[in-house]
Amino acid sequence: MNRDKNKILKRIPLAWSIVFLFSALSYIMYSYSTVYTVEDESYLFAMINDSIPSGLYVEDYVWKGIYIENPAEVIEFYEFISGLSSVETVSEIELEQVLKGNLYFTGGKSMDFQLGEYLYLDGQAYGNKIERIELKKYSNLFRKKLYTKEKLLTLINAQNKIQIRIVQQEKKLAMDQKQELSRIIDEAESMNYEEKASQKIQNKGAVLFQIEIYIGENNSSPQVYVIMYENGLCMIYDSFANQSGSIMQFSVDIKKVADFIRRMSVE
């Protein structure tokens, strides 16, 4: 028992453990003018473990999930949401586009939440006007971790409906065509908005084709768009989360793209 307990505690730096020890004890002993007596060591450690977050899982409907275990990130998020103000219940439309998450504690407990414009715990919305600015930053941070080339390739290779639009034509991609598209993107160079990337975006030229990815069987509109331009720029858009601007940019081999289009036109 003690060996397992020590193993768990080692996951959190000692400095953070001390901070949470005093925070937990101060809150529990002095809240509502009630004093508690610590009867034994096991009770003390159980109380501490239930107050120390050890990991964070965040999931999106389209991009699935990631697990965050960086102590600084996890504890910072936990400390922030612990002080949020409750607000009136908001519309169900906002609830459709939230991130779902689980906050795990070293004692084995967990806390489910949803994160959108507001934070939701047990159906209650939290976050006043000022706090929602910071919540938006966390939402963007988590989504940035979700938006990866690997996850995009998973969406393309999965049993999702994928359509391509070339000029006025529209066609559903077969599995071998999905695989070819995946290879093109897999070999592409990831870009960000540095000077070189900015120049490529400015000189992107006309759209060669547009790929539409439909997640699930009953969706009538695509959740992800892949736009390919004349100069080899490939830009990814997330329409489901209503993200403004492209979420990822790649520089692809334009010759392979041309061959891909040629074969699509012939078939």
Confidence of residue 14 (pLDDT cuts 50, 70, 90): very low
Instruction: Tell me how far apart the alpha carbons of residues 102 and 116 are, in angstroms, rounded to a whole number.
Output: 14
Helix, strand, coil shares, percent, the chain, to 5: 40, 25, 30
In the chain the first and final C-alpha atoms are separated, in Å, by 65
Return all residues near 29 (Cβ < 8 A) that are at least 6 apart.
35, 36
> What confidence tens digit (pLDDT) does each residue in 170-203 have?
899 999 999 999 999 999 998 865 556 677 888 8
Return residue ranges of the chain for CATH 2.60.40. 2-146
State which fold the 2-146 domain adopts: Immunoglobulin-like (2.60.40)
Strand order in the sheet with 86-87: 64-68, 53-60, 99-105, 110-115, 119-121, 124-126, 86-87
| Average pLDDT, rounded, for the chain | 81
Does the 149-266 domain belong in CATH 3.40.50.970? Answer: no
Q: In the numeric block, which tokens belong to residue 232? A: 């080899």
Return residue ranges of the chain for CATH 3.30.1490.410. 149-266
Residue 26 has pLDDT above 70, yes or no: no
> What confidence tens digit (pLDDT) does each residue in 75-95 have?
999 999 999 999 986 666 455
> What confidence tens digit (pLDDT) does each residue in 133-178 have?
999 999 999 999 999 999 999 999 888 999 999 877 889 999 999 9
Instruction: Tell me how far apart the alpha carbons of residues 122 and 103 are, in angstroms, rounded to a whole number.
Output: 14
- Residue 9 CA from chain centroid, whole number: 27
With H, G, I as helix, E, B as strand and everything else as coil, classify residue 80.
Answer: helix
Return all residues near 218 (Cβ < 8 A) that are at least 6 apart.
none
Q: In the numeric block, which tokens belong to residue 97? A: 């586009």
- Give the predicted TM-score (pTM) of the model: 0.75
Q: In this structure, which amino acid lies at residue 151?
A: K
